[in-house]
């Protein structure tokens, strides 16, 4: 039996466009002689629809498109995920379409409600298995979280399933594919049944979905592995207890993360119909990496870079910005900020009389740049992609309405040490970031001879503390117990705590870790809690 795995990129609420992608997969399945087409979880509506699910008209439009889709494929059974409404109740559902109608419908039994997931906010749980016949084989239908627990798989086997089919919308983070293999392998071992894991690919606001659909045989062997972060309709053979199909080459962690960033910005720009992006190019490594990802994702002609030098901007920074733009082939403009900055200072001089210059003037430079970027964005419609990394977002080493200004924060979940790794990886494909940009000590260049390490511990320490405190919820005492300097740990944890108000005002950006500063970080701004260190 041949199964067509529709690893497709859908958009929340674009029912007609999503259905068109599924119809295209059906056409390709027919041409290949497939006896079943499988689309991912919530493929018809896009995922996650969030509070759109509360709208009856949203659910009604989805149902109407589902019926049209069923009529399109009377000869080929199709499995498609979608929300299902019964009165005031909603389900995360999957339908089996056959003979021009909905033959069967399955309701997801395990609703995740952690990290980025809020499914219990919207859906009721199902409690019955769905086993259907295709190509003379009995297939047990499940949805994503269902197979992260043994009960649903056992239930499907008891109902006569010969194959466990799992349709998914599982947001990417580092090492996610290895986790999926581990969990699906456990279900295979428990039931003795092969598993076909069907996943979607693309970006939805801060979430990215990596594709990488796969099939495990009854012996646990990988017989099929789809591409990562690429749309595809793969034909998978199901014979005996074996699944076989194309096997994509494994990717390094750096390449996988880089692809995640590309997909995130490409889909955010494309699905929201921006004509291009605007990047404040400082000559530093963060903005260089952001410009490179944007150029690779969108094409150089849709990337506009602006260098905004001040009196504190080193000559080499301007030279490096020009060289980065040349190497990438992107549009490049220089707008010195001194006249605007001096005008601000002049206007504020009476109010500031008798007070020495401090970080206020430093931040005023950053806010001058932010104002210029947003003015260009308003005039030309380009999306401002900000360039702050996760280390800066964690510690507040960023200026509200300055370098935080923008519509998309591409690397907000990429710590500084990983920024360097990605820069090295990208340069191995072709030099786009000059080596001295990588070698220079990072600096905001807002005062003479400034470096980031004047205000922060070394980034190796900052990133280690951020990962353990923010991503793993470790206590500061535990982190110190791992050998880190107590004062450095106290400093970083304290900065994370007091800068929540800034992060609440930051743009969305690609989530690549198990916990980013977004949907899955919900700390109060006002709090009397003080971690012990």
Residue 45, domain member (yes or no):
yes
pLDDT at site 75: 87
Task: List the domain range (segments joined by +) for residue 88.
Answer: 2-250
Helices (H), 330-397: 338-352, 359-380, 390-395
Q: What is the pLDDT of residues 86-135, one digit of tens each?
A: 989 999 999 999 999 999 999 999 999 988 899 999 999 999 999 999 99
Assess whether 335 and 208 both reside in one domain: no
Q: What is the pLDDT of residues 464-523, one digit of tens each?
A: 999 999 999 999 999 999 999 999 999 999 999 999 999 999 999 999 999 999 988 989
Is-contact 242 218, C-beta < 8 A? yes
Assess whether 263 and 387 both reside in one domain: yes
Assess whether 66 and 166 both reside in one domain: yes
Residue 316, domain member (yes or no):
yes
Assess whether 237 and 284 both reside in one domain: no
Of 222, 250, 278, which closes a domain? 250
Q: How far is CA 179 from CA 182, 183, 185, 186, 514, in A?
A: 5, 6, 10, 11, 12
Tell me the average pLDDT across 224-251: 96
pLDDT at site 319: 94
Residue 478, domain member (yes or no):
no
Residue 162, domain member (yes or no):
yes
Assess whether 106 and 80 both reside in one domain: yes
Assess whether 86 and 234 both reside in one domain: yes
First to last CA, the chain: 60
Assess whether 338 and 441 both reside in one domain: yes
CATH code for the domain in which residue 144 is found: 3.60.110.10
Helices (H), 201-337: 253-271, 285-298, 315-328
Of residues 440 and 221, more confidence is placed in 221
Q: What is the band of 245 on the pLDDT scale with cuts at 50, 70, 90?
A: very high
Mean pLDDT (the chain) is 94
Assess whether 162 and 242 both reside in one domain: yes
Assess whether 99 and 43 both reside in one domain: yes
Residue 233, domain member (yes or no):
yes
Query: E strand or H helix at 137, and its extent?
Result: strand 137-143
Is-contact 295 331, C-beta < 8 A? no
Residue 518, domain member (yes or no):
no
Tell me the average pLDDT across 6-16: 97
Q: Residue 312 pLDDT more than 90?
A: no
CA distance 515 to 89: 30
Q: Residue 286 pLDDT more than 70?
A: yes
Helices (H), 73-203: 119-122, 150-158, 176-191
Residue 528, domain member (yes or no):
no
Q: Residue 215 pLDDT more than 80?
A: yes
Q: What is the pLDDT of residues 323-357, one digit of tens each?
A: 999 999 999 999 999 999 999 999 999 999 999 99
Assess whether 236 and 273 both reside in one domain: no
Of 452, 479, 514, which closes a domain? 452
CATH code for the domain in which residue 435 is found: 3.40.50.620
pLDDT at site 349: 95
Assess whether 202 and 317 both reside in one domain: no
Catalytic residues: 41, 108, 144
- Domain total for the chain? 2
Q: Residue 449 pLDDT more than 70?
A: no
Of 432, 452, 472, which closes a domain? 452
Assess whether 25 and 143 both reside in one domain: yes
- Cβ neighbour number for residue 465 with a 10 Å cutoff: 29
Residue 458, domain member (yes or no):
no
Of 154-158, 202-206, 375-379, 441-445, give the lowest mean pLDDT range.
441-445
């Amino acid at each position: 039996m041949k199964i067509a795995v529709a690893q497709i990129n859908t958009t929340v609420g674009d029912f007609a466009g999503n259905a068109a992608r599924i119809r295209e997969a059906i056409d390709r399945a027919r041409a290949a002689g497939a006896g079943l087409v499988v689309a991912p979880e919530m493929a018809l509506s896009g995922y996650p629809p969030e509070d759109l699910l509360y709208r009856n008209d949203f659910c009604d439009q989805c149902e109407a498109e589902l019926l049209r889709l069923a009529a399109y494929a009377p000869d080929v059974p199709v499995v498609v995920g979608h929300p299902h409404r019964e009165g005031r109740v909603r389900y995360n559902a999957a339908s089996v379409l056959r003979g021009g109608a909905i033959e069967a419908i399955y309701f997801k039994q395990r609703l995740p409600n952690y990290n980025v997931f809020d499914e219990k906010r919207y859906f009721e749980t199902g409690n019955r298995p769905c086993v259907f016949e295709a190509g003379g084989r009995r297939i047990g239908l499940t949805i994503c979280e269902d197979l992260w627990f043994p009960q649903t798989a056992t239930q499907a086997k008891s109902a006569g399933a010969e194959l466990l089919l799992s349709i998914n919308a599982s947001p990417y983070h580092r090492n996610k594919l290895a986790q999926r293999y581990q969990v699906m392998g456990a279900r295979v071992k428990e039931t003795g049944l092969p598993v076909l894991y069907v996943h979607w690919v693309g970006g939805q606001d801060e979430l990215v979905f990596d594709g990488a659909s796969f099939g495990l045989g009854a012996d646990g062997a990988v017989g099929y592995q789809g591409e990562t972060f690429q749309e595809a309709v793969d034909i998978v053979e199901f014979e005996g207890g074996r699944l076989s199909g194309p096997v994509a080459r494994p990717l390094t962690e750096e390449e996988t993360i880089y692809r995640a960033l590309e997909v995130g910005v490409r889909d955010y720009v494309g699905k929201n119909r921006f004509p291009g992006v605007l990047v404040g190019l400082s000559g530093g490594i963060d903005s260089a990496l952001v410009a490179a990802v944007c150029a690779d994702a969108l094409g150089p002609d849709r990337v506009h870079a602006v260098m905004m030098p001040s009196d504190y901007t080193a000559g080499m920074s301007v030279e490096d910005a020009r060289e980065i733009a040349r190497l990438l082939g992107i549009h490049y403009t220089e707008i010195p900020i001194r006249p605007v900055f001096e005008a601000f200072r002049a206007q504020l001089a009476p109010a500031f009389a008798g007070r020495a210059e401090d970080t206020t003037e430093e931040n005023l430079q950053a806010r001058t740049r932010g104002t210029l970027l947003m003015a260009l964005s308003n005039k030309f419609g380009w999306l401002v992609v900000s360039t702050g990394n996760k280390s800066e977002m964690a510690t507040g080493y960023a200026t509200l309405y300055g370098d935080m200004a923008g519509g998309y924060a591409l690397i907000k979940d990429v710590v500084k040490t990983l920024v360097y790794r990605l820069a090295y990886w990208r340069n191995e494909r072709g030099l786009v970031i000059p080596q001295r940009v990588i070698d220079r000590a990072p600096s905001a260049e807002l005062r003479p001879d400034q470096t980031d390490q004047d205000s922060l511990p070394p980034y190796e320490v900052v990133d280690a503390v951020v990962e353990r405190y923010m991503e793993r919820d470790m206590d500061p005492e535990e982190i110190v117990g791992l050998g880190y300097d107590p004062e450095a740990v106290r400093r970083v944890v304290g900065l994370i705590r007091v800068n929540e108000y800034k992060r609440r005002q930051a743009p969305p950006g690609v989530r690549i870790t198990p916990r980013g500063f977004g949907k899955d970080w919900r700390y109060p701004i006002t709090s009397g809690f003080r971690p012990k260190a």
